[in-house]
Amino acid sequence: MNVSVIISIIIGFLLLFGAFLSLVTAFGLLRLPDVYTRNHAASKAATLGVMSILLGTFLYFYSEHGHFNSKLLLAIVFIFITAPVAGHLISRAAYHSGVKLWDKSVQDDLKHKKEYEEKARS
């Protein structure tokens, strides 16, 4: 096995893995019960899925065509930074506009936030 074969195996693995993770994200969005648990699936699996597809694309163009595309690397970094923030903002907006947690949720510490803040202010 020479190096180019190994690299193309890595590229194939990355692309398939990314596509598989995106599929799992779609399943998670359908199966999970409420906004917050769906957000878990959307903000994690989709991030790594898109990142590994981009990394596979980058490696493909670099090894097959000798074309170093730094835009793809920048895109990976941007997705890595912004995806968790987007997940946080969506779930925060959902909580403050009164979306209920799932019935089987066991604990809700955020409910007591208002009381805590008043205690801390006084």
- Name the site residues for another protein (rule: CB under 8 A): 21, 24, 27-28, 31-34, 36-37, 39-41, 43-45, 47-48, 80-81, 84-85, 87-88, 91-92, 95-96, 101-102, 104-110, 113, 116-117, 120
Half-sphere exposure of 83 (CA within 13 A, CB side): 19
Q: Which is nearer to another protein, 6 or 23 (CB)?
A: 23
Q: How far apart are CA 97 and CA 28, in angstroms?
A: 23
| CB 47 to another protein: min, Å | 7
Q: Which is nearer to another protein, 65 or 115 (CB)?
A: 115
| CB 96 to another protein: min, Å | 8
* C-alpha torsion angle, residues 76, 81, 83, 85 (rounded to 10): -170
Q: Which is nearer to another protein, 13 or 116 (CB)?
A: 116
| Residues in CB range of 121: below 8 A, 6 or more apart | none
In which element (H, E) is residue 20 found? helix 3-31
Q: Which is nearer to another protein, 4 or 82 (CB)?
A: 82
